[in-house]
Amino acid sequence: MAVAAASRHGGTCEIADRISVTLAAELPESWSVVRTDLRDLRAFDAADAVVLGSAVYYSHWMHAAGRALHYVKDAPLLDLWLFSTGPISEADSKAAQVPSADAMVADGLAVDHQVFGGRLDTSLLGWAERAAVRAVHALPGDHRDWDQVDDWARRIAGQLAAVPERQNAPRGSGHRGASGE
What pLDDT, in 10s, does the model give residues 72-92? 877 766 689 999 987 555 444
SS3 113: strand
Which parts of 138-177 are beta strand (E)?
A: 141-142
Residue 65 has what pLDDT?
92
Residue 174 has what pLDDT?
42
Residue 114 has what pLDDT?
92
Q: What is the pLDDT of residues 100-140, one digit of tens each?
A: 777 788 788 889 999 898 776 666 767 777 676 666 666 77
Domains in the chain: ranges and CATH:
2-168 (3.40.50.360)
Which parts of 33-120 are beta strand (E)?
A: 34-35, 49-57, 60-61, 79-85, 112-116, 119-120
What lies within 8 Å, CB to CB, of 1 at 6+ separation is 23, 27, 31, 32, 33, 34, 47, 48, 49, 50, 51, 160
What distance lies between CA 7 and its chain's CA centroid? 11
Q: Are 145 and 116 in contact (CB under 8 A)?
A: yes
Task: Give the pairing type, strands 79-85 and 49-57.
Answer: parallel
pTM value surpassing 0.95? no
* Region 36-65 average pLDDT: 88
Any alpha helices (H) in 79-123, and if so which ranges?
Answer: 90-95, 99-106
